[in-house]
Amino acid sequence: MNDDAQDAVGDYRYGFHDPEDSTIRFDKGLTEQVVRDISELKNEPEWMTDIRVKAYRHFAERVMPDWGNCEMLNAIDFDAITYFLRSSKGTESDWDDVPEAIKNTFDRLGIPEAEQKWLGGVTAQYESEAVYHSLRDDLEQQGVLFFDMDSGLREHPEIVKKYFCSVVPYSDNKFAALNTAVWSGGSFIYVPKGVHVEMPIQAYFRINAKNMGQFERTLIIADEGSSIHYVEGCTAPTYSTESLHSAVVELIAMEGATIRYSTVQNWSVNVYNLVTKRGIAHKNSTIEWVDGNIGSKLTMKYPAVILKGEGSHAEVISVAYSGSGQHQDAGAKIHHLASNTTSRILSKSICKNGGRSSYRGLLQVSPKAQNCRSKIVCDALVLDEDSQSDTYPTMEVANSSADLEHEASVSKVSSDQLFYLMCRGHSEDEAMGLIVNGFFEPFTRELPMEYAVELNRLLQLEMEGSIG
Amino acid sequence: MSTYLEIPIPPSSDHLWRYTPWKRVHPSAVNTIPDAQPLTISGGDLFKAVITDSDEIARSFIHSIAQCQELVLADEDLVIDVKSSGHVAAGELKIVAKGHNTLVINLMGEASWAGLRIVGEVLPASSLSIALINELSSESRLLRVEDWVVGKDASLEFSTLSAGGSYCKTDIRVNLTAKGSECRGSVAIHGTGKRHDDHHFEISHAAGYTTSGLVMHAACDDKSRSIGTGLLKIETNCDGSNAGQIFRNLLLSEKSRAESIPELEVLSDDVKAAHGAASAPVSAEQLHYLMSRGLTKSAAEALIVEGFLMDAFKDIRNKKVVAAMRNALLLHLDCLVI
pLDDT score for A5 = 38
Range of weakest confidence among A203-212, A243-252, B177-186, B209-218: A203-212
Residue A141 phi, psi (nearest 5): -65, -30
Indicate if A60 and A207 belong to the same structural domain: yes
pLDDT-derived band at B306 (thresholds 50, 70, 90) equals very high
Predicted local distance difference test score (pLDDT) of residue A3: 46
Q: Is residue A260 part of a domain?
A: yes
Handedness of CA A41, A46, A52, A54 (dihedral sign): positive
Q: What is the pLDDT of residue A235?
A: 67
Given a cut of 70, is residue B137 above it in pLDDT? yes
The model's confidence at residue A121, banded by pLDDT at 50, 70 and 90, is low
What is the count of structural domains for chain A? 2
In a domain, residue A308? The reply is no
Which B residues 214-243 touch A at CB under 8 Å? 236-237, 239
What is the pLDDT confidence band of residue A439, given thresholds at 50, 70 and 90? confident
Q: What is the pLDDT of residue B135?
A: 93
Which tens digit of pLDDT belongs to each residue from B17-37?
999 999 999 999 999 999 999
Share of chain B above pLDDT 90, in %: 88
Segment A87-94 mean pLDDT: 64
Residue B150 has pLDDT above 60, yes or no: yes
**Which of A72-81, A240-249, B160-169 shows the lowest per-residue confidence on average (mean pLDDT)?**
A240-249
pLDDT (0 to 100) of residue A468: 33
Please, which residues bridge with residue A264 across strands? A233, A292
What are the CA-CA distances from residue B209 to residues A277, A332, A384, B174, B292 (Å)?
41, 33, 17, 16, 48
Residue B240: per-residue pLDDT: 92
- Return d(Cα B257, Cα B218) in angstroms, integer: 10
Is A210 in the B-facing interface, judged by CB distances under 8 Å?
A: no
Each residue of B243-282: pLDDT tens digit?
999 999 999 998 999 999 999 999 988 899 999 999 999 9
Q: Quick one: pLDDT at residue A132? A: 67
Is residue A215 domain-resident?
A: yes
User: Which of B257, B265, B277 is nearest residue A393 as measured by Cβ atoms?
Assistant: B277
Is A140's Cβ below 8 Å from some Cβ in B?
no
Cβ-based contacts of A393 with chain B (< 8 Å):
260-263, 277
Is the predicted pLDDT of residue A96 greater than 90, yes or no?
no
**Is residue B335 exposed (0-12), middle (13-18) or buried (19+ Cβ within 10 Å)?**
exposed
Q: Do A402 and B281 touch (CB under 8 A)?
A: yes
Give the pLDDT of residue A89: 61
All residues of chain A having their beta carbon less than 8 Å from the beta carbon of residue B253 are: 400
Residue B201, phi then psi, degrees to nearest 5: -130, 140
Last residue of a domain, one of A269, A301, A333: A301
- Per-residue pLDDT for B317 more than 80? yes
Q: What is the pLDDT of residue A9?
A: 39
Q: Tell me, yes or no, if A391 comes closer than 8 A to chain B by beta carbon.
A: yes
| Planar angle of CA B97, B103, B106, nearest 5 degrees | 140
CA B223 to chain centroid: 21
What residues in B contact A395, CB-CB < 8 Å?
258-261, 277, 279
* Residues from chain A contacting residue B260 (CB–CB below 8 Å): 393-395, 406
Per the structure, the complete domain to which residue A105 belongs is given by 3-301
User: E strands within chain B?
Assistant: 37-38, 40-42, 46-48, 68-74, 77-84, 88-98, 100-109, 113-122, 127-134, 141-150, 155-162, 167-176, 182-191, 196-205, 211-220, 225-234, 242-251, 257-266, 272-281
- Residue B319 touches chain A, beta carbons under 8 Å: no
Question: Is pLDDT above 90 for A133?
Answer: no
Q: What is the pLDDT of residue B304?
A: 94
Q: How far is A216 from chain B (nearest CA, A)?
A: 30
Residue B280 in contact with partner chain A when CB distance is under 8 A = yes
C-alpha distances (whole Å) from B44 to each of A175, A451, B76, B95 are: 58, 68, 10, 11
A329 assigned to some structural domain: no
pLDDT at A305: 98
Q: With an 8 Å Cβ cutoff, are B261 and A397 in contact?
A: no
pLDDT, residue A140, reads: 83
Cα–chain center distance at B10: 21
Please state which of the ranges A49-53, A280-284, A397-401 shows the lowest mean pLDDT. A397-401
Model confidence at A134: pLDDT above 80: no
So what's the pLDDT on residue B298? 87
Residue A383 at interface with chain B, using a CB cutoff of 8 Å: yes
Kindly report the three-state secondary structure assignment for every residue of B164-203: CCCEEEEEEEEEECCCCCEEEEEEEEEECCCCEEEEEEEE
List the single residue in B239, B253, B261 with the smallest CB-CB distance to A393: B261
What is the mean pLDDT of the segment spanning A103-131?
A: 64
* Residue A467 Cα, gap to closest chain B Cα (Å): 13
* Least confident segment among A327-341, A415-429, B69-83: A415-429
Nearest to A290 by CA among A279, A213, B79: A279
pLDDT at A7: 46
CB contact under 8 A, A406 and B265: no
**Residue A347: DSSP 8-state:** E
Cα–Cα distances (Å) from B21 to A432, B25, B30, B202, in that order, read 47, 7, 11, 18
Chain A touched by B286 (CB under 8 Å):
no
Residue A376 lies in a domain: no
Beta strand A373-382 with A342-351 is parallel
Nearest to B264 among A391, A396, A405 (CB): A391
Tens digits of residue pLDDT in A301-312: 999 999 999 999
Domain-located, residue A377: no
In angstroms, what separates the C-alpha of A87 from chain B's closest C-alpha? 42
The CA angle B319-B323-B325, to the nearest 5 degrees, is 115
* Confidence tier at A109 by pLDDT (50, 70, 90): low
Q: Return the higher-pLDDT residue of A18 and A302.
A: A302
- The stretch B42-68 carries a mean pLDDT of 94
Using left for φ > 0, alpha for ψ between -120 and 50, and beta otherwise, residue A60 falls in alpha
Q: Tell me the C-alpha distance between B117 and B171, whole Å.
A: 10
* B297 alpha carbon, distance to own chain's centre: 31
Quick: pLDDT tens for A342-371: 999 999 999 988 999 999 999 999 999 999
- B306, HSE (Cβ side, Cα atoms, 13 Å): 17
B33-36: which pairs have CB atoms within 8 A and are 24 or more residues apart? B33/B4, B33/B5, B33/B61, B33/B64, B33/B65, B34/B65, B34/B87, B34/B88, B35/B65, B35/B88, B36/B65, B36/B66, B36/B86, B36/B88, B36/B89, B36/B90, B36/B115
Sign of CA dihedral A72, A170, A145, A336: positive
Determine contact: B311 vs chain A, CB below 8 A.
Answer: no
Q: Which residue has the higher pLDDT, A139 or A379?
A: A379
Q: What is the mean pLDDT of residues A69-98?
A: 80
> Is A368 domain-assigned?
no
- Mean of per-residue pLDDT scores for chain B: 94
Strand partners, B114: B89, B142
Q: Does residue B19 contact residue B7 with C-beta atoms inside 8 Å?
A: no
Residue from A93, A33, A86 nearest A57 by CA: A33
Which domain-ending residue is among A251, A276, A301? A301
Task: Give how far Cα B278 sits from Cα of A145, A334, A404, Å.
Answer: 42, 16, 5
HEC profile of B187-247: EEEEECCCCEEEEEEEEEECCCCCEEEEEEEEEECCCCEEEEEEEEEECCCCCCCEEEEEE
3-state class of A304 per DSSP? strand
Whether B280 sits inside 8 A of A398 (CB atoms) is: no
- pLDDT at residue A465 is higher than 60: no
Mean pLDDT is highest, among A38-42, A289-293, A360-364, B170-174, for B170-174
Contact at CB, B274 and A393, closer than 8 angstroms: no
Here the ipTM equals: 0.78
pLDDT value at B322 more than 60: yes
3-state SS assignment for residue B60: helix
Query: What whole-number percentage of chain A has pLDDT above 90?
Result: 50
Task: Evaluate whether B226 touches B19 at the Cβ level (below 8 Å).
Answer: no
